[in-house]
Amino acid sequence: MSAHLERFPEVTPSWAARCCVCNRETGAPVPVGYIPSASGSGYTRYACPEHATDAGPHPDDIIRNR
């Protein structure tokens, strides 16, 4: 084993989510929306960094006015 691999081992992401646009799993998910559920906790929509600006609001998202 080389010294480089010993000092810098490969690290897998501790948490991943599926992109709502391309449906690929990403290790750097960006929350892009929230869909409430009447029967329990809601659902957070995530996108990969490449599609974070393309995801846009979903019709079921809560729109929060500031």
- d(Cα 46, Cα 23) in Å, to the nearest integer? 10
Q: What pLDDT digit, counting tens, does each position of 13-66 carry?
A: 677 899 999 999 998 899 988 888 888 888 888 999 999 887 766 666 666 665
Q: Report pLDDT for 22.
A: 93
Residue 23 pLDDT: 93
Q: Contact, 46 vs 17, CB < 8 A?
A: yes
Q: Which pLDDT does position 42 carry in this prediction?
A: 86
pLDDT at 18: 92
Q: What secondary structure letter does DSSP report for 60?
A: T
Model pTM?
A: 0.61
